[in-house]
Amino acid sequence: MAQSIIQSARRIVIKVGSSLVTNDGKGLDLHALSRWAAEIARLRQQGKDVVLVSSGAIAEGVARLGWKEKPSAVHEKQAAAAVGQMGLCQAYESAFRAHGLNTAQVLLTHEDLSDRTRYLNARSTLLTLLNLGVVPIINENDTVVTAEIKFGDNDTLGALVTNLIEGDALIILTDQKGLFTADPRKDPAAKLVSEAEAGAPELEEMAGGAGSSVGTGGMLTKVLAAKRAARSGAATVIACGREADVLCRLAAGESIGTQLVAKTSPLAAKKQWIADHLQLKGRVTLDAGAVRALQQQGSSLLPIGVAAVDGEFLRGDVVSCIDESGQEIARGLINYGADETRRILRLPTDRIEAALGYIDEPELIHRDNLIIL
Q: Annotated binding residues for ATP, as ranges?
A: 15, 174-175, 216-222
Annotated binding site: 15, 55, 142, 154, 174-175, 216-222
Annotated binding site for substrate: 55, 142, 154
Report the alpha-carbon distance of residue 343 to residue 320 in Å, rounded: 18
Contacts of 75 (CB under 8 A, 6+ apart): none
Report the alpha-carbon distance of residue 322 to residue 310 in Å, rounded: 11
In SS3 terms, the chain reads as CCCCHHHCCCEEEEEECHHHHECCCCCECHHHHHHHHHHHHHHHHCCCEEEEEECCHHHHHHHHCCCCCCCCCHHHHHHHHHHHHHHHHHHHHHHHHCCCCCEEEEEECHHHHHCHHHHHHHHHHHHHHHHCCCEEEEEECCCCCCHHHCCCCHHHHHHHHHHHCCCCEEEEEECCCCCECCCCCCCCCCCECCEEECCCHHHHHHCCCCCCCCCCCCHHHHHHHHHHHHHHCCEEEEEECCCCCHHHHHHCCCCCCEEEECCCCCCCHHHHHHHCCCCCCEEEEECHHHHHHHHHHCCCECHHHEEEEEECCCCCCEEEEECCCCCEEEEEECCCCHHHHHHHCCCCHHHHHHHHCCCCCCCCECHHHEEEC
